[in-house]
Amino acid sequence: MGRARELLHGHVVDANDGIIATAGVLEGFAGAGASESTLFVASIAAMVAGALALAGTKYVEQASERERQLALIAEERAELAARPDDEVAELAAHYERKGLEPDLARRVAEQLSAADPLGAQLETEHGIQEPMRRSAPLVEALAGAVAFTLGAAVPFVMVSVFPAALEAWAVAVAAALSLVVTAIVGARSGGTSIVRGVLRTLSIGVGTMAVSYVSGLLLF
């Protein structure tokens, strides 16, 4: 999967979270007999809280990954400075395990090390082709928050447009249709089955809304 498709797939998942989380909250309130104004406030609260929570989670994850990469880079740089021949031998051993003959593996390791010793070690041992940029955690956090908000906007618009008597149904139908669209986009970007993706996403989304609505009925 290309980097662009991988990012698209990830943000589609974030949008799905926005749809399901916000619709689930609203269905729970609707089941409890909440007023139109309460549903409106609840939709905004769910949208804002969810977007901020997702942004915070993504920032922490990406910042931790960047720190891990920086630590690995510093470690590999120190090892190259102290024992360059050992590092070449490690590369050669790696390519031998991949199936190259010892002499060829040694030549490949030497050529890669001559061109970019640190890059060769990082990619071979740790799968790091390009170190994460300083701005990456913040960018990922903002992108996740935007995707979540776009997803959450679907049930929010339904609450804003439809009268209270129809809001629960309007939210459920709009959320289900939106999940079908995002599931198709997610499956195409991820190269997976569209049918299975739609069924999985709808099952989770509809199940969440149904359980939330019934919970609201039972609790109030």
Q: Are residues 44 and 78 in the same domain?
A: no
Q: pLDDT > 90: what percent of the chain?
A: 60
The overall average pLDDT reported for the chain is: 91
User: Using 50, 70 and 90 to split pLDDT, how confident is the model at 2?
Assistant: low
Looking at the structure of the chain, the number of domains it has is: 2
User: Using 50, 70 and 90 to split pLDDT, how confident is the model at 165?
Assistant: confident
Q: Are residues 86 and 50 in the same domain?
A: no
CA distance 196 to 28: 27
42 falls within a domain: yes
> For position 4, what pLDDT does the model report?
66
Mean pLDDT of 189-213: 92
User: Using 50, 70 and 90 to split pLDDT, how confident is the model at 3?
Assistant: low
- pLDDT tens string 6-58: 777 788 999 999 999 999 999 999 999 999 899 999 999 999 999 999 999 99
Quote the domain boundaries for residue 99: 73-126
Q: Are residues 87 and 194 in the same domain?
A: no
- pLDDT tens string 78-133: 989 899 888 888 888 988 888 888 889 899 888 988 888 898 889 888 888 888 89
User: What is residue 129's DSSP assignment?
Assistant: S
Q: Are residues 140 and 53 in the same domain?
A: yes
CA distance 153 to 21: 11
Q: Are residues 159 and 205 in the same domain?
A: yes
pLDDT of 153 higher than 60: yes
Which of 126, 144, 159 is the endpoint of a domain? 126
20 near 204, Cβ under 8 Å? Answer: yes
Mean pLDDT of 140-161: 95
63 falls within a domain: no
- pLDDT tens string 111-120: 988 888 898 8
CA distance 103 to 140: 43
Predicted structure pTM score? 0.85
Q: Are residues 10 and 85 in the same domain?
A: no
Output the DSSP codes for 142-204. HHHHHHHHHHHHHHHHHHHHS-HHHHHHHHHHHHHHHHHHHHHHHHHHHT--HHHHHHHHHHH
68 falls within a domain: no
67 falls within a domain: no
Which of 126, 151, 168 is the endpoint of a domain? 126
Tokens of 151: 């997803």
